[in-house]
Chain A
């Protein structure tokens, strides 16, 4: 028999969108239940990017792929705090041009940078953002130096972390994740958190929402609630809505930042253990593409060399000379659909020729910057591609990325239920209220009208904060 919980407001999903929404509602004195499919684990319980983290905190163990003319691997957090628990917290405020573009394309009211500024300020006062004190790691500096030599704009990006020196003088970072910031506020304000509980669908009955869920032990649970906020992330919010029979402009317009990685090898040692995460991004070609440097632990390096296994001995012996770099673009379209009789949603991807051209262009520029800073070999994440040693090799790279050979991935997903007053394309109004359905709101990355160009979490938080304040007012 199913247990029943009755509450005024239910928020489903505890990532940045859900956690902020739930906390602000609870702080305003509302009775709020926050439901999360993943477990409530302390931040730092497992090392970042480790086997354990993948097993515990990633949805489907990170084995998630969008299928289509290109395959795009994506990963999502599935834990209290969502993506904020597993990400690197690279932080930006969105550019005003992107917001203006969204205002025009989707007719969103009150979404200028000036409108969002107080919400960015409010979020940053709780989820704190820090610049790296001292000199960035060499892997990061290499990209920066290369960009500088070419006269390209390169930034040191702040992160959602607090830096601290430990006893032996080493700089360590403490993540400003939802589990350490907004979730404790939510609980302190009297909110109830229900972790390890997956919502499968909901329906309206006698003026209330009846939400079907399953707890970890497989026990069915019904939540009866006046108002529902969905914040399951850009793939699972549309999947849940569609399973619940709400389909207008839902899941048709998923966008993402396609990313292609390379491994670059230098003569000198650049990849030292125990140094902070890299922080540079080259933004000269924004919004077409940006370039960045990644965590380059040896298992990750080995993974990135999968397309060049004949050079795996370099990882074995010379891994300290190697770093992982990426180019990230804004092209790429996808849809989210449920597969009859199955639980997990299917993502169908379309990378058109101009999107593939953009990634190829980004790759060439990335190689150029790395060569300029002294890389002696660059191994692109394209099956069967040659190793790059010189500008002549860069010139031989294809102008359009071969979709069946390139190992594309993405960490940034959005726009599957866009907001705005244009009812032909938008799922919700300008503030996340689902068009034509009372007391149903969306509060996560699904709402964003397109690629954020910059790292998205800041925008997800600010928009969620703006919308919940609008609701409370």
Chain B
């Protein structure tokens, strides 16, 4: 199975933004365009030796739910994606936490930067 990195990232960014909006009780601000573009461009800029392992983890992350849910991550409902995102975020395994942290920090920064410009 191949990995469409954009699709997978879009699923993760959607979950990250939804979790953020839940925290700040602002369900009407689920814009993901700017955070997604920022995540993708930061992926392109990251040190080259990190890109391959990162993509591999993305592939595992996207494919793992097939065993339980019968679909890859990016095709799951938003609520299920949010739950899986949080499971990885709070995992005892460092690589899972680091993977989610990459998305979380970029999404939060991009989301607030965009929001700052529009308020």
Q: Of A63, A310, A315, which is within 8 A of B47 by CB? A: A63
Question: CA of A61 to CA of B40 in the docked complex: distance in angstroms?
Answer: 11
Binary interface encoding of chain A residues 339-352 relative to chain B, with 1 for a CB under 8 A from any of its CBs, else 0: 10011101000000
Binary interface encoding of chain A residues 68-104 relative to chain B, with 1 for a CB under 8 A from any of its CBs, else 0: 0001000000000000000000000000000000000
CB neighbours of A306 from chain B (8 A): 101, 104-105, 108
CB neighbours of B104 from chain A (8 A): 306, 309
Q: With an 8 A cutoff between CB atoms, is A399 at the interface?
A: no
Binds A, one of B1-9, B63-71, B75-83, B109-117: B109-117
B22 → A minimal CB distance (Å): 9
Flag if A316 contacts B113 (CB, 8 Å): no
Flag if A60 contacts B47 (CB, 8 Å): yes
Question: CA of A321 to CA of B4 in the docked complex: distance in angstroms?
Answer: 42
Question: Assuming A64-B47, A298-B116, is B38 touching A51 (CB within 8 A)?
Answer: yes
CB neighbours of A346 from chain B (8 A): 47, 49
Flag if A63 contacts B113 (CB, 8 Å): no
In this complex, the interface size class of chain B, counting residues with CB under 8 Å from chain A, is: 20 to 34
In this complex, the interface size class of chain A, counting residues with CB under 8 Å from chain B, is: 20 to 34
Question: CA of A302 to CA of B38 in the docked complex: distance in angstroms?
Answer: 16
User: Which residues in window 366-400 of A have CB below 8 A to B?
Assistant: 383
Q: With an 8 A cutoff between CB atoms, is A115 at the interface?
A: no
Q: With an 8 A cutoff between CB atoms, is A303 at the interface?
A: yes
Q: With an 8 A cutoff between CB atoms, is B20 at the interface?
A: yes
Binary interface encoding of chain A residues 204-234 relative to chain B, with 1 for a CB under 8 A from any of its CBs, else 0: 0000000000000000000000000000000
Q: With an 8 A cutoff between CB atoms, is B42 at the interface?
A: yes
User: Which residues in window 297-347 of A have CB below 8 A to B?
Assistant: 297-300, 302-303, 306, 309-310, 312-313, 315-316, 339, 342-344, 346
Q: With an 8 A cutoff between CB atoms, is B41 at the interface?
A: yes
CB neighbours of A302 from chain B (8 A): 108-109, 111-112
A227 → B minimal CB distance (Å): 31
Q: Which residue of B lies closest to A300 (CB)?
A: B109
CB neighbours of A51 from chain B (8 A): 38, 109-110, 113
CB neighbours of A342 from chain B (8 A): 47-49
Task: List the interface of chain A (C-beta within 8 A of B).
Answer: 50-51, 55, 60-61, 63-64, 71, 297-300, 302-303, 306, 309-310, 312-313, 315-316, 339, 342-344, 346, 383, 404
A-B contact pairs, 28 of them (CB 8 A): A51-B110, A55-B41, A60-B45, A60-B46, A63-B42, A63-B46, A71-B98, A297-B116, A299-B108, A302-B108, A303-B105, A303-B108, A303-B109, A303-B112, A306-B104, A306-B108, A309-B23, A309-B104, A310-B23, A312-B24, A313-B25, A315-B24, A315-B112, A339-B49, A342-B48, A343-B48, A344-B49, A404-B94
Task: List the interface of chain B (C-beta within 8 A of A).
Answer: 19-20, 23-26, 38, 41-42, 45-50, 94, 97-98, 101-102, 104-105, 108-113, 116
